[in-house]
Amino acid sequence: MNPEEGELRPQLLDRFGLAVEVVGLTDITSRVAVIERRMGYEADSEAFIGQWQRAEEELAGRIVTARALLPQVRIDSADMAAVAGLCLEMGVDGHRADLTILETARTHAAWAGGLSLVPKIFALPPNWRCRTVCVASRLPKSRLTSSGLDRSWSVAANPPKAHKQTM
């Protein structure tokens, strides 16, 4: 979504499970590397493709391996309780964020070659990858800024309270 085009309606925004904020690179070395790669491709696209072929094949193989492992990754009730507590503490609207965080953490576990979730993946910074991309569109407006998640609020500064689990 391009912020310059305006906001999406809430019922449409709710259909997106994951959201990421893309920003430009801020250090000279990285920016120069991007420019060099682009110019290298434009100068000789076949050589450029050949240069990156092996890395692309390795990445594709890792994706195939993770996809095969994904059905074996288990989410237990402790994982569910941890995520539910986190979402409650953050004031997330609805239940879609809970499900999205768990599925994202499950996918991340398969990518890492594991069969169970690692709680730090969705718990505290800096290991909050799965949480951050799943909840931004479901937080109350007070937790959002014009550019997305209010970074001044964090689980580290506002740790989840213990929630009683009832079954």
The DSSP code for 125 is T
Q: What are the backbone angles phi and psi of residue 74, rounded to the nearest 5°?
A: -105, 145
**What would the pLDDT profile of 80-122 be if each residue is shown by its tens digit?**
998 888 888 878 778 888 888 888 889 889 998 999 987 666 5
**What would the pLDDT profile of 17-52 be if each residue is shown by its tens digit?**
777 667 889 999 999 999 999 999 999 999 999 999
Q: Kindly list the domain boundaries of the chain, sorted by start residue.
A: 28-71, 74-167
Catalytically annotated residues: 96
**3-class SS at 160?**
coil
Taking the C-alpha atoms of residue 42 and residue 48, their distance in angstroms, rounded to an integer, is 9
Omega of the bond leading into 126 within 30 degrees of 0 (cis): yes
Mean pLDDT across 123-134? 50
Integer CA distances (angstroms), 26 to 23, 30, 88, 103, in order:
9, 8, 35, 31
Of 82, 85, 88, nearest in space to 105 by CA? 82
Q: What is the pLDDT of residue 135?
A: 59
**3-class SS at 149?**
strand
Q: What is the pLDDT of residue 153?
A: 40
Binning pLDDT at 50, 70 and 90, where does residue 53 land? very high
Which stretches within 70-95 are classed as H helix?
77-90
Domain 74-167: CATH superfamily, name plus number = Magnesium chelatase subunit I, C-Terminal domain (1.10.8.80)
Binning pLDDT at 50, 70 and 90, where does residue 163 land? very low
Residue 124 tokens, joined: 């505290």
